[in-house]
Amino acid sequence: MRTMLLAAQAPVSDSPLILTDLPAPEPGPGEVRVRVRACATCRTDLHVIEGDLPPRRLPLVPGHQAVGVVDALGPGTSRLALGERVGIAWLRSTCGRCRFCVTGKENLCEDSTYTGWTHDGGYAEYAIVLEAFAYRIPPRFDDAEAAPLLCAGIIGYRALTRSRVPRGGSLAMYGFGSSAHVAIQLARHWGCSVYVVTRDPAHRRLALDLGAEWAGGPGEALPEKVDAAIVFAPAGDIVPEALASLDKGGTVALAGIHMSDVPPLRYDRHLFWEKTLQSVTANTREDGEALLAEAAAIPIRPRVMRYGLTDANRALQDLTEDRVEGTAVLMLE
């Protein structure tokens, strides 16, 4: 099978992914094999490829937002059938026994594994997923539209819930990439007023097109104090600005898996009045199922830019340089 393989972590500007033929994997107990049709790129892929996250496995096939059809079943599988269309997300497995797993917090499981980090992912013609961690894809979405929902969508959904923004409330978003462009559609469906801060003019135009009340650049004051804020950009120096934008009792959720250092905070300006600072760590399967159901009902319409599998380096470079409107998706069929 064709893959885009990472042999050693390096800047995406160096085109570190190499087209490589590997044997198609065989599903083990409880696993299914998926013939991949599309795999969305993600900023987490950048962190894995460039070394912001320590390597868990090399060489590695990255990618954790894959959509395709089940084409082989491992022993002991019964939930999925051959030919079903499914999605593969970031969270690959959990132990199912620890205090986190048994209390609905499987995203915090210390024995969790991850697609495209601890195990090979979706930048390939075939990928393996545990049957219990595969998502059935609503028919409303084509393959390219569905792919970004599997991480950008799920994390945006969890970030919204962690921000505790009330229905009909006000929300600020800092950074407006793949996850934010899905989350704003959820927030607008919830009746929220959304204010977007992003450095790129094209992203500001997209935010307004998707229903933002206001879009400005870093350092610009929001038109009003907000009930909640989400920091999507992996830049710690934004955190004080986001906290300062909150009304009393507001919450800032940090949506990234990696972030540069947060500078010192002033208690009176950034944290007093019972403000809350929350991080977001991966997701639960419940998050994923809830997001897909709501996305289909709204319906959410992810904006995608399509690339071929062999253009994976270029897609990631475009992501780094803010040349992607919405999500870059690698198409395999």
Residues 331, 307: contact at Cβ < 8 Å? yes
> What pLDDT score was predicted for residue 219?
87
Residues 126, 70: contact at Cβ < 8 Å? no
Cα(186)–Cα(182) distance, integer angstroms: 7
Task: Enumerate the H helices of the chain as residue ranges.
Answer: 43-50, 143-146, 152-163, 178-189, 201-209, 239-244, 285-297, 312-320
2-150+283-331 belongs to which homologous superfamily? Medium-chain alcohol dehydrogenases, catalytic domain (3.90.180.10)
> What pLDDT score was predicted for residue 333?
80
> What pLDDT score was predicted for residue 277?
97
The third-level CATH classification (topology) of the domain covering 153-279 is Rossmann fold (3.40.50)
- What does the buried/exposed string (b/e) look like for 199-231 if buried means 16 or more CB atoms within 10 Å of the residue's CB? ebeebbebbeebebbbbbeeeeebeeebbbbbb
Element (H, E) at 95: none
> What pLDDT score was predicted for residue 41?
97
Residues 64, 121: contact at Cβ < 8 Å? yes
> Would you state the structure tokens that stand for residue 230, as one six-digit string?
């989400």
Closest CA to 58 of 125, 2, 119: 119
Q: Find the Cα–Cα–Cα–Cα dihedral 281, 228, 230, 199, rounded to 10°.
A: -170
pLDDT along the chain (333 residues), means of 10: 98 98 97 98 96 96 98 97 98 97 97 98 98 97 97 96 97 96 97 97 95 95 97 96 97 94 95 96 96 96 96 97 94 91
Q: Where are the domains of the chain?
A: 2-150+283-331, 153-279
> What pLDDT score was predicted for residue 157?
97
pTM equals 0.93
